Structure 1
Amino acid sequence: MKPTATRWAKSVALLAVVSILASCGLPRVGPNKREIYAGSVQKDGNAFVVSVDDHVTRAISVVPSFGFSDSFRHAAALGSDTIRAGDTLGLTVWENVDDGLLSNEGLNATVLEEVQVDGNGFVFVPYAGRIKAAGNTPEAIRRIITNKLADQTPDPQVQVRRLAGDGAAVSLMGAVGGQGVYPIERPTRTLSAMLARAGGVTIDPEVAQVRVLRGGQTGKIWFKDLYENPQMDIALRGGDRIVIEQDSRAFTALGATGQQARMKFEHQSLTAIEAIAQVGGLTPSASDPTGVFVMRDESASVANQVLGRNDLQGDQRMVYVLDLTQPNGIFIARDFTIRDGDTLYVTEAPFTQWNKVVAALTGSLTSITTADTAATALTGG
């Protein structure tokens, strides 16, 4: 009987050691499913734990979009023929005499290059005087100069050209091929044309954002949307500041995933299944595919819709549960939208924690010598 009693004693001692180790808090990646559910509102916690289904994916599918306001979209393109303060003009005057007012002897044409319109909108032309240019077209300025010179030289012929100047210019900054100040000219009246003129973007177009600052207003659009949807293009205005920047949205991956890190979005939209793939998938030897959680602060309007309520106010802590083992679990994860600031957490499988307990006792799953020795020591056998 003594050997039997000794074996029973060893077994009880071994279970005691296992219980002690399990309660001591073995290393793990984070809370298990039971602990997460314990923090739910239903159990006097402060977060709503929701199993994701088709209803939930539809309710949370609203993703903030970018676009320009009406004031941006309805602004007409600048006419390239309207002269503004700061513009530069090119003038050529032909005179019907050998020795004219402006031309040298033997020449009947005079070229005045880079005549800049001053801050008050005027230009000075010899023998024609100070002429109002801003607000006029090159044709109107041509007529004014012609009339002023007609009394001093017979049948003058005048040509006025609008050159590139800073009267209507925009600045481009950020991840663009050529940063700098560019004039708004006939080929570059729109945002897309100006970006092309500056060499396009130098980052992945999938995550490139275009921000336009005009006075006290700001508009933003995805670079890809700008080129795929011409109706989203806008006309530029002098003084516009155009900034090309990379998407700064990110989510955090924790738990039994291939990589635990803060991950930036690789596309305009990101689903749960894509986020899992982006971090290297689930850890094959440790993860629990029934315990994939997405945690976020949800707006009251969305939270009410998800929960079928109408009394919630303010942002709500939501814990969405994805079970990839369900028949349509992969499809639901594919339809579930990840948002900026989300935390993706995957729990460890129960076996993993048991494995750690056994490993702590024996050093490996294939040897129980140490456990037997520990039980013998406890029983004094």
Structure 2
Amino acid sequence: MDFTKKLLITAMASTMLVGCTVPGSHLDIDGKNVVKVSEEQKNNISEQVNVYPLTASTVSTLKAPRVTSKENPALDAEVARYQYHIGPGDILNVTIWDHPELTIPAGSYRSSTEAGNWVHSDGTIFYPYIGLVNVEGKTVTEVRDEMATRLKKFIESPQVDVNVAAFRSQKAYITGEVNAPGQQPVTNVPMTILDAVNKAGGLAEDADWRNVTLTRNGVEDSLSLYALMQRGDLTQNRLLRPGDIIHIPRNDAQKVFVMGEVNNPQLIKIDRAGMSLTEALSTVGGINELEADATGIFVIRGNKSQSTKSQTLANIYQLNIKDASALVIGTEFELQPYDIVYVTAAPISRWNRVVRQLLPTITGFNELTEGALRIRNWP
């Protein structure tokens, strides 16, 4: 077979391959409204991206400040002067010493809650001789002093004691990823966020303890239970007030994407202790030693704040592990939610892929050539 015939066969094989239907889905944009993008918009992405090589000297400057143990004197002072203020629904227990008929008029076998004085919706209680007493918003000390003053008209030197038998008027709420979410009564014992979490059975397995919110009077305050419970940063603690809502979200947003030339590309979640770049690579089975470019391990971190046009679109951090000891640097680089870890392919790997795509055509050409030669040499 001469060269012209071989060329013709090659052309026919190429035409046949082009005309073949490729299996799989396809989205055709013909007939659809395609938004035009200028060449400047296409090409200016490189101007909005910063690349930072990760080295032993630079990785320390990129680390977030370490959370350390801190005192909270403001909270200590607030707890020291804390007093409970009575509200509607509470039950008060009033004792008049040497006057048992006033103390438990319904009998000595009833509990304090059953025999106590219910604070009505108008904030008052009724007591013999003195009638209605306005107790809403007052402390037990203030109520005791007022009742003692008013009883002097009927009892000589009355000795009055007042305490709250049941706390029902004021509540705080803890929601989200705790083992027993729900309402918790505000009592005469000051309750902090840490107390509330412990009373709720502690954190659930999927809790995101770094991004806790405290909502008070419609205003949200972001807190970190990681800093409080793991690092002893007491400035993250708060004294709870009636109506406060503590919400501990799920860790669904604590995820990173590992893609490219790794052994098992996947989405992985950052655990409670955090996750370094080296840990992420280990979780996906490491890089593909045969096809990965060890100099091309990148962490792509989008810029979440886009308030001005001058801000960068993303920051890219490059780790070169051609020397495997550089993985130590990766252990010092903490990943953040929605980071993309991308491992590029080595140039030889890209060439091998091109060859693999051409192999069916080359094989088909060889078979056609061999067949034509057999036909030509057929006796």
TM-score, normalised on structure 2?
Answer: 0.69
Q: CA 1:110/1:333 → structure 2, altered by over 3 Å: closer, same or farther?
A: closer
Aligned to 1:343: 340
The answer to whether 1:183 aligns with 2:188 is no
The answer to whether the 8 A contact 2:191-2:240 is kept is: yes
The answer to whether the 8 A contact 2:86-2:139 is kept is: no
Q: SS in structure 1 opposite 2:172?
A: strand
Could you tell me which runs of 5 or more consecutive residues in structure 1 were left unpaired when the two chains were aligned. 22-38, 301-311
Partner letter of residue 90 of structure 1? L
Aligned to 2:87: 85
Aligned to 1:277: 282
The answer to whether the 8 A contact 1:297-1:317 is kept is: yes
The 2-side partners of 1:105 and 1:329 are apart by 80
Aligned to 1:330: 327
CA offsets 1:246-288 (integer angstroms, 9 cap, x no match):
3323222211123333332224533221221233322344322
The answer to whether the 8 A contact 1:178-1:199 is kept is: yes
Q: CA 1:75/1:287 → structure 2, altered by over 3 Å: closer, same or farther?
A: farther
Counterpart among 237, 240, 261 of residue 236 in structure 1: 240
The 2-side partners of 1:259 and 1:121 are apart by 65
CA offsets 1:103-135 (integer angstroms, 9 cap, x no match):
66997x996745343455432223222223234
Query: Deviation at 1:324?
Result: 0.7
Q: CA 1:164/1:243 → structure 2, altered by over 3 Å: closer, same or farther?
A: farther
Aligned to 1:286: 291
The answer to whether 1:222 aligns with 2:224 is yes
The 2-side partners of 1:267 and 1:371 are apart by 58
The answer to whether the 8 A contact 1:207-1:268 is kept is: no
CA offsets 1:306-346 (integer angstroms, 9 cap, x no match):
xxxxxx93124333322111365212222233222221111
Aligned to 2:131: 129
The 2-side partners of 1:332 and 1:97 are apart by 78
The 1-side partners of 2:363 and 2:304 are apart by 56
Q: CA 1:105/1:377 → structure 2, altered by over 3 Å: closer, same or farther?
A: closer
Aligned to 1:296: 301
Could you tell me which runs of 5 or more consecutive residues in structure 2 were left unpaired when the two chains were aligned. 19-41
The 2-side partners of 1:213 and 1:47 are apart by 36
Query: Deviation at 1:241?
Result: 0.5
Q: CA 1:298/1:119 → structure 2, altered by over 3 Å: closer, same or farther?
A: same
Aligned to 2:260: 255
Query: Deviation at 1:209?
Result: 4.1
Partner letter of residue 291 of structure 1? G
CA offsets 1:168-191 (integer angstroms, 9 cap, x no match):
320111112222221122445211
Query: Deviation at 1:214?
Result: 0.8
Query: Deviation at 1:213?
Result: 0.6
Query: Matches of residues 95-114 of structure 1 in structure 2 within 5 Å?
Result: 96=98, 100=101, 113-114=115-116
Structure holding more strand per residue: 1
Identical aligned residues as a percent: 21
Query: Deviation at 1:80?
Result: 5.9
The answer to whether the 8 A contact 2:258-2:284 is kept is: yes
Greater alpha carbon shift after TM alignment, 232-241 vs 201-210: 201-210
Aligned to 2:28: none
Q: CA 1:114/1:351 → structure 2, altered by over 3 Å: closer, same or farther?
A: farther
The 1-side partners of 2:216 and 2:66 are apart by 22
The 2-side partners of 1:105 and 1:198 are apart by 37
The 2-side partners of 1:216 and 1:296 are apart by 32
TM-score, normalised on structure 1?
Answer: 0.68
Partner letter of residue 350 of structure 1? P
Q: SS in structure 1 opposite 2:262?
A: coil
Q: CA 1:230/1:125 → structure 2, altered by over 3 Å: closer, same or farther?
A: farther
Partner letter of residue 327 of structure 2? I
Partner letter of residue 245 of structure 1? P
The answer to whether the 8 A contact 1:81-1:162 is kept is: no
Partner letter of residue 335 of structure 1? E
Q: CA 1:93/1:142 → structure 2, altered by over 3 Å: closer, same or farther?
A: same
The answer to whether the 8 A contact 2:48-2:312 is kept is: no
Counterpart among 139, 142, 145 of residue 140 in structure 1: 142
Count of matched residue pairs: 334
Query: Deviation at 1:158?
Result: 3.6
CA offsets 1:20-44 (integer angstroms, 9 cap, x no match):
99xxxxxxxxxxxxxxxxx998x97
Partner letter of residue 346 of structure 1? V
The 1-side partners of 2:197 and 2:344 are apart by 46
The answer to whether the 8 A contact 1:254-1:344 is kept is: yes
Query: Deviation at 1:242?
Result: 0.8
Q: CA 1:135/1:52 → structure 2, altered by over 3 Å: closer, same or farther?
A: same
